[in-house]
């Protein structure tokens, strides 16, 4: 198999003693990143022959599980996935850039990646240094280059400081997307700490954050208000968010410490958001399994942005006036900022059809199906709910 040829060394050797235990929630984070990367590469390789990926907090790629068995880091996983896509896409090349602040870890990552067998169409460079400074230098190289090369950035703007103004510059690159690891647990501790004001100033690029209402809030209200403000400051047209809980190994049971960090996906195109949403939803199932029985893990975890089917039906009929005609694809694109995934849209529209609130002209599908080219006509507003 191709993935085996392009896999990192995972034998039990002396390096396991130097490896860091990878918590279960971090493993799910890696799954979200690499699953989306696979979808991103597969979709964009149909139109572009060059793609770029930058991991701005790469680590050294040396992890172990609870049995001390080695686990690949995100760089190894990303390259392995890219190799499978490259094998199926003639003429495609993928360039990876991995940033690691610690010089020793950067050297170890170079060694790990050097041991991987990959085709020449996959290149990788390890940058040792501060994420903010290295990214600024990368921008100086990328921005003047002609042509469009879709680029995906994986960043941790607080743990490995990268300011929002720099993130906006990254998003200004044509076809660029950001997957952001926002360390809420650290930020929540720092918001009321005078000694950390400069750190937050650096994150936002200004001190106006100190005048926002979330500073006077507590608990979940403060958390939601802060993340909303963060999204607003980044100012991307589309954002998909996934709250990530503490891992069971953290043994956190306080109800006001439900969220450890957020994964936020920023993009300028609705189909990028629609590609990420099912990846985030799939992770939700893994997180549910991870939490286990209530008596073992007493803390609660819920995504405040998860919407039900009735909410989706209300949103659709509230968004589109009576008489509006759109393809199913257009509806998905125009409402990409809603948290719902495609199967939920299909179910919601079929229910609205049964309720005679929409008509579906099945130009591509048969019987009761629903394909992208089918025409949906909205007949009347829902006025609050689907009942």
Instruction: Report the half-sphere exposure of 88 (CA within 13 A, side-chain side).
Output: 14
C-alpha dihedral (353, 355, 356, 362), degrees to nearest 10? 10
For residue 138, the model assigns a pLDDT of 92
How far apart are the C-alpha atoms of 34 and 185, rounded to whole Å? 24
Task: DSSP letter for 292, please.
Answer: -
How far apart are the C-alpha atoms of 303 and 243, rounded to whole Å? 6
Cβ burial, residue 77 (10 Å; 0-12/13-18/19+): buried
Find all residues with CB under 8 Å of 128, minimum gap 6, and list them.
100, 101, 102, 103, 106, 107
How far apart are the C-alpha atoms of 167 and 181, rounded to whole Å? 12
For residue 288, the model assigns a pLDDT of 74
Q: What are the residue ranges in the chain where pLDDT is below 50?
A: 1-17, 293-306, 382, 384-387
What own/partner pairs with CB < 8 Å and gap ≥ 24 does 274-277 have? Answer: 274/332, 274/333, 274/336, 274/342, 275/36, 275/39, 275/40, 275/43, 276/36, 276/240, 277/240, 277/339, 277/340, 277/341, 277/342
For residue 367, the model assigns a pLDDT of 84
For residue 10, the model assigns a pLDDT of 40
Neighbours of 66 (CB within 10 A): 10
* Rg of the chain in Å (alpha carbons): 22
Helix 164-171 and helix 131-142, axial crossing angle in degrees, nearest 10: 30
Task: DSSP letter for 160, please.
Answer: T
Q: In degrees, to the nearest 5, what angle opens at C-alpha 101 toward C-alphas 60 and 130?
A: 150
For residue 291, the model assigns a pLDDT of 60
- Lateral strand order in the sheet of 70-72: 20-21, 62-64, 70-72
| Listed residue (125, 80, 118) closest to 100, CA to CA | 125
Q: Cα 41 from chain centroid?
A: 14
Render 71-99 in DSSP notation, one character per residue.
Answer: EE-HHHHHHHHHHHHHHHSTT-EEEEEEE
Helix ranges, the chain (H): 2-5, 24-44, 74-88, 103-114, 131-142, 164-171, 184-190, 197-204, 219-234, 270-291, 309-319, 328-334, 342-354
Task: DSSP letter for 214, please.
Answer: G
For residue 14, the model assigns a pLDDT of 46
For residue 4, the model assigns a pLDDT of 31
Find all residues with CB under 8 Å of 166, minimum gap 6, and list them.
132, 135, 136, 139
Model confidence pLDDT, tens digit, residues 240-252? 999 998 888 888 7
Cβ burial, residue 65 (10 Å; 0-12/13-18/19+): middle
For residue 245, the model assigns a pLDDT of 87
pTM for the model stands at 0.87
For residue 172, the model assigns a pLDDT of 93
How far apart are the C-alpha atoms of 351 and 345, rounded to whole Å? 10
Instruction: Report the half-sphere exposure of 359 (CA within 13 A, side-chain side).
Output: 8
How far apart are the C-alpha atoms of 91 and 229, rounded to whole Å? 42
| 378 Rama class: left (phi>0) / alpha (psi -120 to 50) / beta | beta
Question: Which residues make beta-bridge pairs with 375?
Answer: 327, 361
For residue 251, the model assigns a pLDDT of 82
For residue 326, the model assigns a pLDDT of 98
């Amino acid at each position: 198999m191709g993935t085996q040829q392009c896999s990192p060394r995972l034998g039990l050797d002396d390096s396991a003693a130097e490896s860091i235990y990878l918590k279960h929630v971090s493993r799910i984070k890696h799954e979200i990143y690499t699953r989306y990367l696979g979808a991103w590469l597969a979709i964009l390789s149909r139109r572009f022959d060059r793609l770029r990926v930058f991991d701005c907090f790469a680590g050294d790629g040396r992890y172990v599980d609870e049995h001390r068995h080695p686990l690949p880091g995100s760089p190894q996983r990303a390259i392995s996935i890219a190799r499978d896509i490259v094998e199926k896409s003639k003429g495609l090349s993928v360039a990876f850039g991995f940033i690691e602040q610690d010089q020793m870890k950067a050297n170890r990552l170079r060694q790990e990646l050097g041991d991987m067998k990959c085709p020449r169409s996959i290149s990788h460079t390890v940058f040792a240094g501060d994420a903010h400074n290295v990214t600024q230098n990368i921008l100086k190289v990328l921005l003047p280059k002609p042509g469009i090369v879709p680029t995906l950035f994986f960043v941790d703007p607080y743990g490995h400081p990268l300011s929002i103004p720099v993130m906006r510059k990254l998003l200004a690159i044509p076809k660029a997307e950001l997957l952001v690891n926002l360390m809420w647990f650290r930020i929540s501790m720092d918001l009321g700490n005078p000694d950390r004001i400069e750190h937050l100033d650096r994150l936002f690029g200004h001190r106006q954050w100190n005048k926002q209402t979330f500073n006077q809030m507590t608990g979940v209200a403060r958390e939601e208000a802060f993340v909303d403000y963060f999204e607003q400051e980044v100012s991307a047209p589309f954002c998909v968010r996934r709250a990530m809980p503490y891992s069971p190994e953290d043994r956190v049971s306080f109800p006001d410490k439900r969220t450890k960090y957020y994964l936020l996906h920023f993009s300028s195109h609705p189909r990028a958001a629609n590609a990420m949403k099912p990846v985030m939803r799939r992770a939700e199932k893994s997180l549910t399994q991870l939490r286990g029985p209530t008596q073992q893990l007493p803390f609660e975890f819920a995504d405040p942005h998860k919407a039900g089917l009735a909410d989706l039906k209300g949103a659709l009929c509230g968004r589109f006036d009576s008489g509006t005609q759109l393809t199913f694809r257009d509806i998905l694109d125009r409402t990409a900022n809603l948290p719902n995934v495609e199967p939920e849209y299909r179910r919601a529209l079929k229910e609205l059809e049964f309720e005679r609130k929409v008509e579906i002209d099945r130009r591509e599908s048969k019987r009761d199906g629903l394909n992208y080219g089918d025409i949906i006509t909205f007949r009347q507003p829902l006025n609050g709910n689907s009942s």
